[in-house]
Structure formats: structure tokens, C-alpha cells
Structure 1
Amino acid sequence: MFFPSVGAGASGAALPTHKPSAGKDEDITGKFDPTALERGAKALKELDSSPNAAKAFEVTKLQEQTKQKQLQKEMEELAAVRMRAQAEHARTEAEERRKTINHAQEQERVTAQYRAQLEAEAYQKKLQDQQKQNEVWLEQQHQQFLRQQELRKRQEQELLEMRRQQMREEKAMEREIMREKIQEETKGRIKQERENIDIHLRELRAKAAEYRKTRMDTLHTVFSGVGNAFNELMSDRSRLATLVGSLTALACGVYGARTGAHLLGRYWESRLGKPPLVRETSRWVFSKSFFNPLRFIRGKVQKKDFQEKIVFEEELAERLQWTTNSLISAKANGTPFRHMLLYGAPGTGKTLFARTLARESGMDYAIMTGGDVGPLGRDGPSEVNKLFAWADKSRKGLLLFIDEADAFLRQGRGSASAMSEDARNAISAFLHHTGTESDKFCVVLATNCREILDRAVLDRVDEQFEFPLPAVEERKRMLNQFLEEYIFRTTKTGRKIVVDEKIDDAFVQEMAEKTEGFSGRQLAKLVIAFQAAVFGSGTNTLTRGMAETVLSWKLAHFDQDIDTIERRSREQKLADA
């Protein structure tokens, strides 16, 4: 630090400043300038001579202290900056170490994930190989089973053919022995007859003469009596008139009795019998009441929900339940019955639902088929009128179910070439009886194709229900229901099928997924095919391999099923329309 001397005459003089030389490495001994020293000395003298020299010294001292404080502050700031730099450096190093550790952990995670992926792929490949081996083994077992079945059938066929050949040979030997025996007996009788021909001729002649004499005597006696009676009758006029009157009265009585019995029978048939169009009914029928005593207790049977027997999708089942409840309670509430139309693909449960509803509704029911009207010809309209007149007489209300309604109520009334006059008259009779609401009967129509029904018939219908093909869940429920009915339940003869443990809920779910497009009837046929395969194999056990074989055969021949053909024909008709 530089402190200049203070004099009395140097007050207020400026402090000298030290200016370093521009060139540090040069020799400055020969270039010294004393001017600055002179000015400094002059300033000191002026400062010493000044009265404020002491104050100037204090000021200078304070300035120096201030500079020291500033320098100390700068040093502290530099120390703080250095500490912050060290902290930042430490933080940076810690961040780098953290990043390094995270990177290492990420690398370890990626490595572990890749290792796990490789292990999973290896395990999946192992499972696939095992599955392929299982499939190959199952296929080998299936082929072995088929070969065994073929060998068994061939052996049975050969054994049956051997038995048939043996029976044919035995029959041939029996025929040959019988023929030889008959020939010997015939030869003996011929020889005996030839030897006794004279005796037989004499016996025959004697018998013929006796028979002729007896017949002639009988005829003579009869004709003599008739002639005498006729002569007596002709001679007595009163007896002749009595005989003629008696014969006439007898003829009139017989004819009148026959005609009266016929008319009385027709009357009682119209009152107590059922119309010819009705195939099945719950109403009391005179001609069958004595042979069916269970008819009188049928109404006391506990009613069940139709959904316990038939599987529908939830929305359709709910609508059908509402309509069924309103139908059952309509008679009690005094409201008219609502007519219904059930339409959809073949085998979806239309006829089954209608028959179940008819039997369990508590009403009288009658079931007919639309195809029965056409063969009646001219009698069709009158039979339709008789049917509805008979329905109007039901006290409990009658549910009339017309199956295959499109065969009877189809379009074409406006064209003479499309429909006969008798068919048009029959439809007109139906429309006449269903034109207004009725609290006597309810009509339920069932058809595969709604679009071919007459528009006036559709106008008579209050509720229409489409029965679609079952979805996966409905197919699963149907399969469980049919398996319970045809496989798990003991048959009528007491025979029970042993079911493999592998035929479980998962297998039923797999079958439901594979049978896309199957109707309820086709699913029932599939389960019945399981039953037939078990009884046909003679093992009395339903294995998973056998079930898969039957299922594969059904899937392969699905396009040839009659329900599939009819369904596609219906779809084609709808597309053309």
C-alpha cells in the first residue's frame, strides 16, 4: 500500500499516481523523467502548508479503509463465487454420476428385458412345439381310431357276409332236401293214385249222383213252398197290401235313420269336434276325450317360464316375455288379444316358441299348418270360416298358431296367374275374420320370410319378432342345454353315456366359437350326432377326439345342410326384392 507524507503546506494537493512503463522488459535507467517527482513534491508542500492537512489525512485514511473493505468484499465475493463454482462442480459431478448410474440401470433393464423376451420367445416356441407334438399325437390317435373302426367294420362285414353265405347254403340245402322229399312224396302219391284210380272214379260218381239228387229235392221243396205262398198271397188282397206297406215302411225307416244319423253326427261334430285344418288342440274334443284322460288335468300343471326351455338373446327374450305376459292377462283384463308374427331363418326357434307359448299360456290353443289350406281347393274358404267360427266359441280364449304361414297367406292376390281363385278366397276369409280386434282368439303366424306375406296380412299383425341366428353366448347356452338333454341324461332304456373330462366348459366355448352361423336346430343335430357316434362306436364313451371329429365333419358339410340352403335362399330372395 502507498501512503504519501503529509506536510502543512501540502493541503489539497493531488496524490501522485504511479504509472508503470509500457515495456516491462526494457531497461528504464536512461529514460527516467523527474517531472512527476517534482509535481509530487510540490503537491506535498502545498498539502503540508494547507490548514486541512489533518482532515485530508483522515479522508485519505477513510478512503484507504473503504478500498480495503471493498477489496475484502471482493475477496469474499470471489470466495463465494469459488464456493458456488465448487458446489456447481460437485452438483455437476453428482448429476453425471446419477446419469451414469441411470444409464447403467437402463442398460441393465434393457438387457434384462431382452433376456426375458428371449426366454419368453424360447418358452413360446417350446409351447408351440409341444402343441404341434400334441396335435400330431392327437391326429395319430384319431387316425388309429379311424383305422380301428374301419378294421372293425370290415371284420364285422366279413363276418356278416360269412354268416349270410352260410345261411344261403343252409337254405339251399334245405330247399334241395325239401324238393327231393316233395318229389318222392309226389311220386308215391302219383303211383298210388294210378293204382287206385278206378276206385276213386267210382267214389266220385257215387258222391256226385247223391249230391245232385239232394240239391234237386231241396230246390223242388223250396220252389214248391214259394209257389204255394205266392198263390195264396195273390189270392188274398189284404195280405198283399200289408206286405207291400211293410216293405215300404221298412225301406223308408232305414233310409231316414241313415240320413238322420249323418245329420246328427255332422251337428255334434260342428259343436264338439275340431275343424279339419286343426292338427293339434287343447280344447275338449268329443271324438278323443275318452281316449285322453290327461286332458282334464292339463290345466292344473304348474306353468314354467319359456326361457327355461328356449334360448334367445336378452333383448328378444325380454320383448317376448312382455308380450307373453300381456297375452296371458288380456282375458282377465278384458282387453283384445294382439296378433303376432314370428319370422327369421329356419331352425331359430319360431315354431318351438309358439308351441311352448300355446301349451303354457293357460288359454285354449290350436295348431295348424299353412300348407294344409291349398289341397282343400274349393273347400278352403269354408274350412277357414269353420276354423274361426270354432275359435269364437272358446270361453278361455283361443291361441291359433299358423305354422308356415307363407304357404297360405303369401302375396299375389292381384294377379290371376300368381294365385288361384280358391287361394284368394281363402286369404279373403282370413282377412275378414282378423280385420277387427277380438277378445276370443289370438293369431300367431310363423314364417321364414316376412317379405312374401300379403301386405293386408302384415297390417293385421300387432307385434313382429325377428328370430336371428344365435350369437356366441346363446350358442354356448344351447350346447350346454342339448348336452344335458342328449348326453348327460340317462336314455329311456336306462343307458348312460360316459363323458370324457376334457369335454368341459372351455371345450363348449370353443365349439360355440367354431359354430358361427349355426341355428339352434343345427346345434341340436350336432349334439345328437355326438350321441349317435357314441352308440355307433360301441364304446359307450364320448371322448374329446370323437367330438372333434363329428364337429369337423359337421363344419365341412355345413353348406350342404338343408337349413343353410333354405337360409341362403331366403337371403337371395330378400336381395332380389
Structure 2
Amino acid sequence: MFSFGAPQVPSSAVSPLPKDDKNITGKFDPTALERGAKALKMLDSSPNAQKAFELTKMQEITRQQEIQKEIQQMHLRQTELGAQRARVEGDEKRKLMAQQQEQDRITAQYKAKLEAEAYQKKLQDQRRQNEEWLQQQHQQFLRQEEARKKTEMEILNMRKAQIREEKALERENIKARVQEEGRVRIEQERKNFDVHLKMMKERAIEERQTKLESLHVTFSSLGSAFSSLLADKQRLTAGVTSLTALALGIYGARAGTRVAGRVLERRLGKPPLVRETSRWTLMGGVRNIFTASPFRNAPPPISNIVLDNTLHQRLTWTTNSLVNAKKNGTPFRNLLLYGPPGTGKTLFAKTVAKSSGLDFAIMTGGDVGPLREDAPNEINKLFQWSKKTKRGLILFIDEADAFLRQGRSSSDGMSENMRNALSAFLYHTGTESKEFCLILATNERQVLDRAVLDRMDEQYEFGLPKLDERRRMVALFMRQYVFAPGKGGRSIEVDDRINEEFFNRVAERTEGFSGRQLSKMCISMQSAVFGSGAKTLTLDLAEMIVDWHIKEHLKDKAAIEGGCAQQPTD
């Protein structure tokens, strides 16, 4: 660019001045200034001076615009850098916040874990304290009982000693009194011996004379009566006839009473083997007049019995076909229910028997053995009685393996009486029947006689309940025995933590339990509350009872397995 200031003089044109501190003016060469002034004059006198100035001005404006544009670009770049910096700072803040939140979450989780561990430790300490308290209460109760028994024993011993002393004194007094009375009486008897001897002789003579006269009168009367009877044949015939009629009447009345009793028993009674029946009987009808309805303890409906879904469906179909068999005139089907104890076999059979609308009779196989030689006759009476119902009858035999087991082929395996009872049973169940249905229940299917199994149309295995079934059973039994009010209207207050979650935990921990064991566990909770005098079933108490029952179950299981392991193998 051009500038119109003082002309620039090259440094080479100015000679360096020697340094002289004393010469303040120095040695200045004005030739350079002269040449500059001359050049300016020549430029001003040039005809292109104005154009050169305009060109220089335009170049200066262009340069300023470029500088302004660069300034704007720099401002724009600064703005972009600021936005980028703000975006980076925002990202950093978000990352920092995310890291802070993650750290807070980790801290909260750790804090929650510590609180949970502290709570579990608190629960364990509380449970241990409760167990120690219960143990202390038990020990205190034992000590009190021991002290009470000791005190009662001391009091009893004192009373015994006192009674012994009193009895000894009384014996001494009686002995002394008797001795004194005997001595006095002996002395008096000695004094009156002659008088007594004379009186005894006179009394003996008088009694002898009286007896002789009585015998004489009696035999005289009998002789005269017999003589007159022999003389009068009509009176003799009437007497013999009367005596014969009297004897026949007595023996006929005895035989008729026996026959009438058997007829009444057969028509109005029930066989001795039947423990419970819906058929009307004379004794049962009289008993029902003075008691409540015989079906006051009605079983739950089949839909409320907790069973495996597949088994429940099969049993429902079989029950419906059993109920409709009498209506359709088809033979009844015999059922066999087997499985471990406490799995609902007896409950289901009684429920079907009592809710089917048919007559039912319930007996147990253990009642057959004590009958001994009368067992076959009673079995015959049972089946004859079963065939005389008009509505059809369901005969339920519980614990059937007690007399229907294998062993007929071996004299050592079964007694003669039981073999005869089994033969009588097989005789009456050899063909299909339209009069009665047979339901057998047993814990050991493999011990039943092959002929008995052959007579069963349907066989159902009742296994141990699974997790879902145990959960439903626990909820059902807790509502029945704990949540429901008692007989006197007394209710149990239940901890809020004893809920569905508690039922699930109990069901998971009680694997291998039967329905009866779960029922007994819930009854134990009820008994623990009533027995302790408390009104509330706490979670710790319920957990403790569950632990006790699990320990007992494991002990029983180990004992059974140990017994099986000790049995000799062939």
C-alpha cells in the first residue's frame, strides 16, 4: 500500500554517526530528505497522481473489508467454539451427573444391603432371643413342676406318715379295747358256762323236733297228692300235658326270640363290620332322635379337595359316572386308592360316598382280624346286607391291606381265618354288581392279593403334594384353623406378615410333607397360641413351629430310611 507520509529512507543512506557524547547535534546528512522531497514534488506534478490516490484508497477500503470479514469469521468461529465448548461442558455435566447417579445408586444399594443384613441379623437375634425365652420359660416351667411335685410329694409323705401314726394309734386303741372286752367276756362266760350249756342243749332238742315234724308233714302231703294223682287218670293226663306245654313254650320262646332277633338285625340293623352308614337302622334312628343330624360333619365338596389337576379331573369323571351308574342301569366300577399316608385317600372316598346321593357304608380292614373264625360269616353278612339296598350302595373299605394281602399260597404268610375271610370277599366280588360299588384304600398296593387287584376297575395313585398343592393346602388349613374363629367364638390375632408370601415360603420348605402333616402343622400353631395364653400368632412363633415340624419330618424320614437299610435283602 501507498502512504503519503514522510518518505522512507533506507538505512543504508544514512551513515552511522559516531558516538560523541559531547556533540549533541551530531553529523546529519540531509541529502536523503532532499531526494524524498524531490520525489514528492515529481509525484504531485504527475497527471496520474489522482488515480494513484484513488487506487490506493480503494486498496485500503478493500483491505479494511477483508479485515472486517476476517473479524466476522473470527467472531463466528468464536461463537462456534463457544457453542462447542458449551456442548462439551453439557456432555461433561451429563456424564458427571450420570456418574454421580450411578455412585448414588451403588451407595443406596450398599446401604440397603447393609440395612437388610442388619434387619436379618436383628431378626436372627430376635428369633434367638425368642428361642432362649421359650427355653427359659420351659426350664422355668420344668423347675416349677419339679418344685410342685417335690412339695406335693413331701406333703403326701407327711400325710402318709400322719395317717400311719393315726392308724397305729387306732390299732393300739382297738387292740387294747378288744383285749379288754375279750377279757371281760371270757370272765363272764366262765361264770355263765353252765347256764349257756344247758340252754344250748334245750335249743338243739327243740330245733330237731321241729325239723322232724316239718319233714313228716311235707312227705305226708306229697304222698297223699301223688296217690290221688295216680288214682285220677284225667288229672294225671292234664298235669303231664301242662308240663309238656310249659317246656315247649319255654324252648319255643327262646328259639323264636333268637330267630326274630336275627330277622330284625338283618332288616333293621347293620353288620358289626360297618362303622358308619347312611342307611336307616333301628339303633341309629333312635340315636339320631337324641343327637344332631348324623351328617352334621359333612365332608367338603370334591372341588375343595386339593389334589393334582390330572388326578382331580380323572376322579371327577369317575365320580360322575359312579353317580349316574344306578340311573343308567349299568354295573358299578370298583375303585382302588393307594399312596403314602395322609395324601387324601380316605377323605376323597368318604366325600364321594357321602355326596353321591347313594347309600354308603364305611368299614376298616383292621376290624376283620379280631373276628377270627367268625370273620368269613361276618363278611358274608356284610355283602348280603349291601345287596339289599334299592338306591345302590358305596362300600368303602379303609386299610384294605389288613386282610386282603398276599399269602394264600403259604401257610406261614396268612392264618386260616384270614384266608377264609379273603376267600369270602373274593366270592362276593367276582362279578360286576349293580347293587354296590367297592372302594378300597391302602398305603401299600404291592401287598394286596393279585385276585383283589384284578377286581379293581380303576386304580388311582395319591402322591405327595407338589409345590402349588402345598401352597394351596397351607392357605386352606391356615384359614380353617388359625384365621377362623374357634368354637367359643375366640379368635386369634395374626401378624400382618403371615400372608401369601409366608404361605409360599412354608410351601417351599415343606417338600415331602403330606396333607395330614401340613394340617397338623397349622393345628400346632393354633395350639401354641391357645396353650401359651397369648392372643397373637407372631411371625417368629409361626416360623419356629414350622422349623420344629421340619426337624421332626427329617427325623422320621431318617428313621424310616435307616429301618429300610437294616432289613436283610434276598
TM-score > 0.5, shorter chain as reference: yes
What is the percent sequence identity of the aligned residues? 43
Match of 2:465 among 453, 456, 470: 470
Partner of 2:321: 326
| Native 8 Å contact 2:299 2:350 kept in 1 | no
Matched, 1:366 2:389: no
Query: Structure 1 residues 223 and 145 mapped into 2: Cα distance closer, same or farther (>3 Å)?
Result: same
Partner of 1:193: 185
Distance apart, 1:270 and its partner CA: 2.9
Matched, 1:410 2:442: no
Partner of 1:75: none
TM-score under structure 1 length normalisation: 0.70
Distance apart, 1:345 and its partner CA: 0.7
Offset from partner CA, 1:325-354 (integer Å, 9 cap, x none): 332333234333222111111122212222
Query: Structure 1 residues 374 and 98 mapped into 2: Cα distance closer, same or farther (>3 Å)?
Result: same
Query: Structure 1 residues 397 and 457 mapped into 2: Cα distance closer, same or farther (>3 Å)?
Result: same
| Native 8 Å contact 2:288 2:294 kept in 1 | no
* In 2, Cα distance between equivalents of 1:128 and 1:340: 51
- Number of residue-to-residue matches in the alignment: 489
Query: Structure 1 residues 509 and 167 mapped into 2: Cα distance closer, same or farther (>3 Å)?
Result: farther
State the one-letter code of the partner of 2:163: K
* In 1, Cα distance between equivalents of 2:527 and 2:155: 26
- RMSD (Å) for aligned C-alpha atoms: 4.4
Query: Structure 1 residues 149 and 489 mapped into 2: Cα distance closer, same or farther (>3 Å)?
Result: farther
Offset from partner CA, 1:131-178 (integer Å, 9 cap, x none): 343334334433332333233323332333233234323433442343
Offset from partner CA, 1:525-549 (integer Å, 9 cap, x none): 3344445555655667766555555
Partner of 2:436: 441
Of residues 525-534 and 255-264 in structure 1, the stretch that sits farther from structure 2 once superposed is 525-534
| Native 8 Å contact 1:346 1:566 kept in 2 | no
Partner of 2:51: none
1:557 is paired with a residue whose SS is helix
| Native 8 Å contact 2:302 2:348 kept in 1 | yes
Partner of 1:159: 151
Matched, 1:293 2:289: yes
Distance apart, 1:444 and its partner CA: 0.6
Distance apart, 1:398 and its partner CA: 0.5
The residue correspondences of 1:346-425 to structure 2 (distance < 5 A) are 346-377=341-372, 379-415=374-410, 417-419=412-414, 423-425=418-420
Partner of 1:123: 115
Offset from partner CA, 1:359-389 (integer Å, 9 cap, x none): 3322111112223334545554443333222
| Native 8 Å contact 2:127 2:540 kept in 1 | no
Partner of 1:450: 445
Partner of 2:160: 168
Partner of 2:552: 557
* In 2, Cα distance between equivalents of 1:116 and 1:393: 79
| Native 8 Å contact 2:306 2:472 kept in 1 | yes
| Native 8 Å contact 1:149 1:537 kept in 2 | no
Structure 1 unpaired stretches of 5+: 1-81
Partner of 2:217: 221
2:272 is paired with a residue whose SS is coil
Match of 2:246 among 240, 246, 250: 250
Query: Structure 1 residues 204 and 307 mapped into 2: Cα distance closer, same or farther (>3 Å)?
Result: farther
* In 2, Cα distance between equivalents of 1:533 and 1:99: 64
Matched, 1:501 2:495: yes
Partner of 1:150: 142
State the one-letter code of the partner of 1:292: N
TM-score under structure 2 length normalisation: 0.70
Query: Structure 1 residues 377 and 157 mapped into 2: Cα distance closer, same or farther (>3 Å)?
Result: closer
State the one-letter code of the partner of 2:250: V
2:362 is paired with a residue whose SS is strand
Structure 2 unpaired stretches of 5+: 1-72
Matched, 1:283 2:279: yes
* In 2, Cα distance between equivalents of 1:243 and 1:537: 81
* In 2, Cα distance between equivalents of 1:176 and 1:134: 61
Query: Structure 1 residues 295 and 464 mapped into 2: Cα distance closer, same or farther (>3 Å)?
Result: farther
* In 2, Cα distance between equivalents of 1:361 and 1:378: 35
Query: Structure 1 residues 393 and 568 mapped into 2: Cα distance closer, same or farther (>3 Å)?
Result: farther
| Native 8 Å contact 1:384 1:430 kept in 2 | yes
